[in-house]
Amino acid sequence: MARDKAKPCELDQEKYDADDNVKIICLGDSAVGKSKLMERFLMDGFQPQQLSTYALTLYKHTATVDGKTVLVDFWDTAGQERFQRMHASYYHKAHACILVFDVQRKITYRNLSTWYTELREFRPEIPCIVVANKIDDRPVSYLLSTADRKMTQKSFNFAKKFSLPLYFVSAADGTNVVKLFSDAIRLAVSYKQNSRDFMDEVLQELENIDLKREEEEEEEEEEMPDKAQLGRHQSPTPS
Ligand SMILES: Nc1nc2c(ncn2[C@@H]2O[C@H](COP(=O)(O)OP(=O)(O)OP(=O)(O)O)[C@@H](O)[C@H]2O)c(=O)[nH]1
Ligand SMILES: [Mg+2]
């Protein structure tokens, strides 16, 4: 019992102490390893079974950036063909994006441009990291270790074309996973602190208007009974 009680308190305390709150989304075709990457980072584990994500999964994580506590929401969803495109709310107020492809399946690399176009429709400015996953798979490890650099760079030119950072990772053996997520969190925090993103400003403005309206309505409600009373007292009495 005492244990159950302690949990929400701990969470509240984290929220109370947190300096910042960021949202990081993950995009890419089905089975590129989006969920496995999160699993590796958050649980430091990897279960190789094939399980596609059916609905949205939200992982909450607490990180420390420059001595400050940051609450991170990682959003994971299925990149399957059955979802022609992501719902707008998936992108809403995201501060960074991790865009994943599978080094063993060319089609997942070709589809990056579709994902990227959609991302930029909703979030024109947020930092985006391109991730080449599954480098533990034998043929690619071989390709990378024999250092046929020209060939590797040519085949993964997408990131260069859009000036995006490219990370070679493996959810299976953990290569570069911590670095990827730590950098994504750092970029998200820095974006949130420094961005002059037009859409963010519009959204903030709308929120302020809503808050103002709510406050005004509350004030009006408070004033109403007085007005009614005033009306009754001042009604002209027949002389
Ligand atoms: N060898 C290897 N296999 C991986 C790696 N990452 C993921 N996989 C495998 O790839 C398959 C798909 O991984 P998921 O993480 O479920 O892929 P996803 O992108 O979340 O797929 P959806 O939820 O359908 O969008 C699983 O069978 C994993 O075991 C990796 O780094 N190396
Ligand atoms: Mg998944």
pLDDT in tens, 122-181: 999 999 999 999 999 766 555 555 544 444 555 689 999 999 999 999 999 999 999 999
Determine which residue's CA is closest to atom 29 belonging to ligand 1.
Answer: 48
Distance 172 CA to ligand 1 centre (A): 9
Determine which residue's CA is closest to atom 11 belonging to ligand 1.
Answer: 31
Instruction: DSSP for the chain, please give it.
Output: -HHHHHHHHHHHHHHHH-SEEEEEEEE-STTSSHHHHHHHHHHS----------S-EEEEEEEEETTEEEEEEEEE----TTSSS--HHHHTT--EEEEEEETT-HHHHHTHHHHHHHHHHH-SSS-EEEEEE-TTSHHHHHHHHTT-HHHHHHHT-HHHHTT--EEE--TTT-TTHHHHHHHHHHHHHHHHHH---HHHHHHHHHHHHHHHHHHHHHHHHHHHHHHHHHHHHHSPPP-
Distance 205 CA to ligand 1 centre (A): 40
| pLDDT band, residue 225 (cuts 50/70/90) | low
Which residues, judged by CB distance below 6 Å to any ligand atom, belong to the binding site of ligand 1? 28, 30-36, 48, 50-53, 78-80, 133-134, 136-137, 170-172
The pLDDT assigned to 147 comes to: 47
The token duo for 104 is 């063993």
pLDDT in tens, 8-55: 445 555 555 567 899 999 999 999 999 999 999 998 766 666 566 667
CB-based neighbours (< 5 A) of ligand 2, an ion: 34-35, 53
Distance 147 CA to ligand 2 centre (A): 31
**For 63, phi and psi rounded to 5 degrees?**
-125, 165
The complex's ipTM?
0.99
The pLDDT assigned to 81 comes to: 55
Tell which wins on pLDDT, 213 or 147: 213
**Best probe residue, ligand 1, of 34, 36, 177 (max atoms within 8 Å of C-beta):** 36
pLDDT in tens, 55-113: 788 899 999 999 999 999 999 988 765 566 778 889 999 999 999 999 999 999 999 99
Place of tokens 């406050």: 215
- Ligand 1 atom nearest to 51, measured from its CA: 16
